[in-house]
Amino acid sequence: MKRFKIRFLPIDIVYTAEEGENLLDFAMSAGININASCGGFGTCGRCRLKLIEGNIEYRGQRESSGSETDKKEDIILACQSYIKGDAIIEIPIESQIDKEALREKIKTKVLSARYDILSLNTIKPNPIVFKKLINIKLATCEGMDDLSSVIGAIKKEIHKKDIKVRLHALQTLPSTIRDANGVITVTLFDTGHYWELIKIESGDTTKRQYAIALDLGTTTICGRLIDITEKEKDGPRILEELSDYNAQISYGDDVITRIMHTKKKGGLKRLHDAVVKTTNSIMEELIGASGIKKEDIMFIVAAGNTTMTHLFLGVEPTYIMIEPYTPCFLSPPVVRAYDIGINLSCETPIFSFPCVSSYVGGDIVSGIVGSGLNKKDGVNLFIDIGTNGEIVLTGPDWMLCASCSAGPAFEGGGIKCGMRAAKGAIEQIRIDPVTFEPTVLTIGHIKPAGICGSGLIDGIAEMFLSGIILQNGKINRDLGSKRIRQTEGVYEYVICYGKDTLTGKDIVITESDLDNLMRAKAAMFAGCKVLVDVSGIGLDDIDKIIIAGGFGHFIDPFKAQIIGLFPELPVEKFSFIGNASLHGATLCALSKTYAQEAQRVAQMMTNIELSNNKAFMDEFIAAMFLPHTNERLFPNVIKKIKNSIGDKSV
C-alpha cells in the first residue's frame, strides 16, 4: 500500500495517508474536523476544501462543489475526494468546525492498530474430519463382505485399529466400490477414541475437502467456507465469507427475551428453526458463490454464546436465566446435520465450542483461541462488545472471565435514533465547542438514517468535551444553543435536522439515551475493574487490550476513555481484532490442535459471576458518572476535559 504526505493549511500539519483513502474520513481520523452534515453523501456542500496542489481524485457526481467559481478556485468536496498522491490542502474558514482542534499541533496521527492474527497459511491442516485415498480389492471368495474389504484396506493403509461405521456410509457401498476401479476415498472422523467411517466415494476426491466455520451471534450470524486441504503453494484458505441477521431477532434483541420466548407454546422450535434457517441460507450462498459441491462440505464448527448454542441444537435454555443460572450443558455433544435440520449430507458432524458458564459462551472461548491470547505472555484484557459484554483477563497461567449485561445500547438498541451499524448509520461525530455545531460521517457516506453504537460513543464523548453534557450525564440547559431543546419533557441535542437526513426526521441524542449508554459503559468498566481487582494486579499492569466484536474496530479508544468505557491506558495498548470468534472457529476447522486448545481454554477460565456481586455493584455505581466518580482513574481525560470546557464542566 502506497503512503502519501497530506499537508493541511492554515494549521500546517502533515499527516501520512494511505492510497485511496477518502479525504473526509482521513481528515476526521486525524483529528481535523471539517463541516459535514449530510454524512459524506455529497449533498450538503459543507465539506469544501481548497486543493492547493497534489494528486486528489474527485469521484463526485458533480465536478468540484458545483459552482464555476469553485471549479476555478480548485475547491473540492472532501467527502467525494480520494487520496492518490502527496497533496497540500487548505481548509477554508467556513469548513473549519473545531478551530481549537485545528490549533492543537497533533504530531502523529493516532490510528487504532489492527491486532495481528495468526495467518491461516502458516497452519498445516490437520482437521478432525478428513479424507484418505484407499486402494481396495473386492471380495474374491464366499464368506467375505464389502464392508470388511473396506475396513481391512483402511487398517492396512493407515494402521488404525478401531474403526466404527455410520449407517449412511453403507447404504450405497456395494455399487460405489464396484464403480471405483480399485480406488476409493473414505471420509473419517477422529473422535479421539476411535475413527468413524462417515462416507465412501469412488475414485480420488481428496482435493475436495471443505469445512464451514460459523459465528452464531445473537444479532448476526457469520459464516466462512474454508478449504482444509494441504496446499503445496499458498492459496486462499477462506473461499467465501458472509453474514446475515439472525432470523431470531424478530423474537427479541437479547438472550433473555429469547429464553423467555422459548417458554411460549412452540417457542423453542420457532427459535431453533430461525437460527437453522439463517445458517442454511448463509451456507447456500457460500456454496453458490464458490461453485463447490455441497457434498464436499465435511463438517461445521460453530461458536456461539451459551444460549445461542442451546438454541442452535434445539435444547431448552430456560434455567440459564434463573438463579443459580444453570445451563443444560457446557460441553455440547457432536451432532449430525440431520439432527438439527442443517441442509448438508445427513451424517455431516457439527461441532460446537465448549462454554464456560451461562453467560460466557463458546464464542468467547473461540475468541481467545482466535486471538492467540491463550499463548501470549503478560497480562491482557479481551473485551467483546456486543448485545452482551464479555471480558477475559489473561495472565501467564490463568484466565478470569465475566459477562456484564450492558444492554443493547452499543448495538443501537434502546436509543431513540439508534440503529445497527449499517449504511446510513452515523459512525463519527465532531462538535465545535464554541458554536456546538456538529459534523457527522455515516457508514457508506449516505444521508444519515440514525446513530450506531460507535457513533453514539463518539457523539457522547464529543458532547461531553464540548460541555453539552455534564459529568452526571445530563444535558447542560444553559448553553443557549438552538440544538439543545426539550421534546415531550425530555432534553435532547439535535445531531442532524430532518432536511439533511434519509428519513426526513431529526436525529437526536436524548437524556434517556445518555442514561442507557451510561449504564452500558458503567457495566463494562465495572466488569473490567472487578476482574483486575480479583487478579490482584492494577489497571496499569495490563499490557494489551484487545477489542473484539462486530463494531469494535469503529470505536475510537480515546473517545471510549473520555466517557469511561475503557480504562485510561495509552491508546497504543488497544487493538481491534474484528470477529475473533469466527477466526477461532476457522482455526479449529483447520486443525484439531486448536480444537483441543479450545477445550483447555474453556477449562482454564474462571468465571466471576457479577450478578449479585457486591464489588461489581459498588464499581457500577461509581462508574455512573463521566468519566468516573474516581477522577484518579482518568487523570489525562480529566485534564483534557478541563482544557476543553473549563468552567462549563459542572
Interacting residues with ligand FES (CB under 6 A): 36, 38, 40-47, 77, 79
Sheet of strand 183-190: strand arrangement:
129-135, 183-190, 195-202, 163-165
3-class SS at 212?
strand
Smaller CB separation from ligand FES, 42 or 412: 42
Beta strands 3-9 and 48-58, pairing class: unpaired
Smaller CB separation from ligand FES, 38 or 588: 38
Smaller CB separation from ligand FES, 38 or 624: 38
Residues present in the chain in total: 650
* H-helix or E-strand spanning residue 522: helix 511-535
| Cell digits of residue 351 | 461441532
Beta strands 195-202 and 163-165, pairing class: parallel
Helices 267-290/306-313 angle, 10° precision = 90
Smaller CB separation from ligand FES, 49 or 623: 49
For the CB of residue 447, give the shortest distance to ligand FES in the complex, in Å. 9
Amino acid 303 reads: A
3-class SS at 198?
strand
Smaller CB separation from ligand FES, 77 or 275: 77
**Would you tell me how many other CB atoms lie within 10 Å of the CB of residue 629?**
13
> How far apart are the C-alpha atoms of 87 and 89, rounded to whole Å?
6
3-class SS at 216?
strand
Smaller CB separation from ligand FES, 33 or 243: 33
Smaller CB separation from ligand FES, 44 or 287: 44
Q: What are phi and psi of 230, to 5 degrees?
A: -80, 135
**Would you tell me how many other CB atoms lie within 10 Å of the CB of residue 542?**
18
**Would you tell me how many other CB atoms lie within 10 Å of the CB of residue 156?**
11
Smaller CB separation from ligand FES, 43 or 613: 43
By C-alpha distance, which of 503, 437, 515, 425 is closest to 474? Answer: 515
For the CB of residue 100, give the shortest distance to ligand FES in the complex, in Å. 21
Q: How far are the Cα atoms of 17, 65, 75 from residue 88, in angstroms, in the given order?
A: 12, 18, 12
> How far apart are the C-alpha atoms of 82 and 228, rounded to whole Å?
39
For the CB of residue 4, give the shortest distance to ligand FES in the complex, in Å. 21
Smaller CB separation from ligand FES, 354 or 438: 438
3-class SS at 6?
strand
Amino acid 4 reads: F
Smaller CB separation from ligand FES, 48 or 336: 48
Smaller CB separation from ligand FES, 71 or 160: 71
Amino acid 317 reads: P
335 Cβ contact list (under 8 Å, min separation 6):
313, 349, 350, 352
For the CB of residue 73, give the shortest distance to ligand FES in the complex, in Å. 17
For the CB of residue 45, give the shortest distance to ligand FES in the complex, in Å. 5
By C-alpha distance, which of 16, 167, 8, 170 is closest to 89? Answer: 8
Task: Give the residue carrying C-alpha cell 467375505.
Answer: 144
Helices (H), 163-242: 167-171, 173-178
> How far apart are the C-alpha atoms of 11 and 277, rounded to whole Å?
55
Smaller CB separation from ligand FES, 43 or 281: 43
For the CB of residue 435, give the shortest distance to ligand FES in the complex, in Å. 17
For the CB of residue 22, give the shortest distance to ligand FES in the complex, in Å. 10
For the CB of residue 96, give the shortest distance to ligand FES in the complex, in Å. 14
Smaller CB separation from ligand FES, 34 or 222: 34
For the CB of residue 400, give the shortest distance to ligand FES in the complex, in Å. 45
Task: Give the residue carrying C-alpha cell 451461562.
Answer: 358
By C-alpha distance, which of 187, 211, 162, 596 is closest to 374? Answer: 596
Smaller CB separation from ligand FES, 201 or 506: 506
Beta-bridge mates of residue 548? 384, 578
Amino acid 211 reads: A
For the CB of residue 52, give the shortest distance to ligand FES in the complex, in Å. 19
Beta-bridge mates of residue 451? 418, 426
For the CB of residue 124, give the shortest distance to ligand FES in the complex, in Å. 49
3-class SS at 562?
helix
For the CB of residue 395, give the shortest distance to ligand FES in the complex, in Å. 46
For the CB of residue 77, give the shortest distance to ligand FES in the complex, in Å. 5
Report yes or no: 393 and 459 within 8 Å, Cβ to Cβ. no
For the CB of residue 27, give the shortest distance to ligand FES in the complex, in Å. 11
Q: How far are the Cα atoms of 92, 426, 457 from residue 38, in angstroms, in the given order?
A: 18, 10, 19
For the CB of residue 451, give the shortest distance to ligand FES in the complex, in Å. 16
For the CB of residue 557, give the shortest distance to ligand FES in the complex, in Å. 25
* H-helix or E-strand spanning residue 532: helix 511-535
202 Cβ contact list (under 8 Å, min separation 6):
176, 177, 179, 180, 181, 183, 184, 185
> How far apart are the C-alpha atoms of 444 and 4, rounded to whole Å?
24
Smaller CB separation from ligand FES, 46 or 519: 46
Bond from prior residue into 10 cis (ω within 30 degrees of 0):
yes
Smaller CB separation from ligand FES, 394 or 501: 501
> How far apart are the C-alpha atoms of 650 and 645, rounded to whole Å?
10
